[in-house]
Structure 1
Amino acid sequence: MILPIGDDNTGRRSTPYVNYLIIALNVLVFVFLQGLGTNERFTYAFSTVPQEIISGHDIGRPVRIVDPISGATAIIRLQPTPVSVYLTLITSMFMHGGIAHLLGNMLFLWIFGDNVEDDLGHGRYLIFYLLCGVLASLAHVFSTVAFGGNPYIPSLGASGAISGVLGAYLVLHPQRRVMVIMLRVLTEVPAIVAIGLWFLFQLISGLGMLGEGSQVGGVAYAAHIGGFIAGLILVNVFARRRR
């Protein structure tokens, strides 16, 4: 496993205000609205439920789910969504399932988001980030239906949008040095290695989950892969307009 802990910011020309704002919003939502993960009513009201996106109808009732690996059953008490269910494609990317989930996502965003914002500009970076997040969630919804996943399991987190940022970083700065912990050794590698190994892990894990449904163990690999591919493609459009 490879864990990035920093990158070379030489040449960055601007302060990444939008990136800081996104990080702050994620932390504030988790602390004050999700109650550090204890406020399930809020979380289940504003997370993305594939069945709601497919049907366009809110599902504000308990649903039974079965773990495809252990066979254990559980009840998820989905809550009424006070806004359009399609807006959960955006609200869900500012919520997290736990402190580790939040810290991991914010670490990646802190390291890679600033240089992408510097390249795209503040406004374009915000639009790019949100668009990648929405497309990542739609990729998760599609894979849930296509591969027989449970459409009532809610999805949340900034992982899909951040995956788009990683895709953009790979296109814009493939040779930029990234400091990582790899095999318990602190070293520097080009971004193409650090991000490439990350994506390879997502791809292998995602393919391994096809027989189990599109989301196992709380990880929506299809969202990671979809967001990454969206970032690879969209950054060319946004960067071109910037230039």
Structure 2
Amino acid sequence: MFPIRDSIPRVHKPWAVWSILLLNIAVFMLQQGMTEQMLVSFLHLYGVVPARFTSPEWALFAGYPRGGYIAFLTHMFIHGGWLHIIANMWTLWIFADNIEDVMGPVRFVLFYLACGLSATVVHILFNADSTIPVVGASGAIAGVMGAYLLLYPHAKVFTLIPVLFFPLFFELPAAIYLGIWFLTQFFSGVTSIVAPQQGGGIAWWAHLGGFAAGIVLLPYFRRNDRCYFCYRPDPARRTAVVEPPRRG
């Protein structure tokens, strides 16, 4: 599945989302000017290599410098190829502006980084001995998607689903789209444990960790006075209320 657009309009200009997009693109273009050897060194130094932090003796033997914890931040802005960055940045563009609407730019940046960090920690828990660098914004973006599920389950996501060679388009409720996405990540994550060779080089558990972090952290970063079009349960009527837009 690939999201094309959603039905929730934004109210404020998403300055934080635009800044994150530009920073990711700038880093990716910097990577394009590197030689293969430079790129490999760059990915190992500024991506997160789990064994580097779980086995310090091995890391020193392998030639990693001491420390290197900045990688837990920098890895979110590094991508492994054109398809990787296009898919991540497009998904960020679809879902993140409405989350920034609810939080404001400063809170959104902190939320985004916290989700990315949580995603990486979960990945390390399931891949402690891995010597493969983890790079990409998908863990942080998964956190955005988790928050979106809570705030806008009633939204519609116009979705591309390729069937064989035929592109099919569907308008799915956000709760259905994100639920299918989550189940796909979960079963792929379980498969990566049972049959590691089937993992496809994707950090499935980082996606799941980021998604869960987005759900857990949302109440600490949201601002109710900016909750435009949000879904609010109304126990008295056993229904839900969708807030009208308010401009602050």
**TM-score range for the pair, normalised by the shorter chain length:** 0.7 to 0.9
1:157 alignment counterpart: 136
Letter of the 2:181 partner, please give it: W
1:114 alignment counterpart: 97
Letter of the 2:135 partner, please give it: L
- What is the CA deviation profile of residues 120-178 of structure 1, one whole-angstrom value per residue up to 9, with x for unaligned ones? 11111000000000010000001113xxxx42121111110000000011111011111
- What is the CA deviation profile of residues 86-131 of structure 1, one whole-angstrom value per residue up to 9, with x for unaligned ones? 2211111100111111111111101001100111111110000000
Residues 57/47 of structure 1: CA separation in 2 closer, same or farther (3 Å cut): farther
Provide the TM-score with structure 1 as the length reference: 0.82
Secondary structure of the 1:209 match is helix
Counterparts of residues 65-144 of structure 1 (less than 5 Å): 80=64, 84-144=67-127
1:45 alignment counterpart: 45
Stretches of structure 2 that go unaligned for 5 or more consecutive residues are: 227-248
**Is residue 26 from structure 1 mapped to residue 24 from structure 2 by the alignment?**
yes
Structure-2 separation of matches of 1:215 and 1:240: 42
2:148 alignment counterpart: 169
Counterparts of residues 203-214 of structure 1 (less than 5 Å): 203-213=186-196
Secondary structure of the 1:185 match is strand
Counterparts of residues 210-221 of structure 1 (less than 5 Å): 210-213=193-196, 216-221=199-204
Residues 118/218 of structure 1: CA separation in 2 closer, same or farther (3 Å cut): same
CA RMSD of aligned residues (A): 2.4
Stretches of structure 1 that go unaligned for 5 or more consecutive residues are: 63-78
1:6 alignment counterpart: 5
Judge conservation of contact 1:57–1:85 (CA < 8 Å) in 2.
no
Residues 37/230 of structure 1: CA separation in 2 closer, same or farther (3 Å cut): farther
| Higher radius of gyration, 1 or 2 | 2
Secondary structure of the 1:96 match is coil
- What is the CA deviation profile of residues 28-67 of structure 1, one whole-angstrom value per residue up to 9, with x for unaligned ones? 10111453784222122111011122245783776xxxxx
Provide the TM-score with structure 2 as the length reference: 0.81
TM-aligned CA deviation for residue 242 of structure 1:
6.5
Identity across matched positions, percent: 39
Counterparts of residues 186-225 of structure 1 (less than 5 Å): 186-213=169-196, 216-225=199-208
1:65 alignment counterpart: none
Residues 239/57 of structure 1: CA separation in 2 closer, same or farther (3 Å cut): farther
Residues 36/222 of structure 1: CA separation in 2 closer, same or farther (3 Å cut): farther
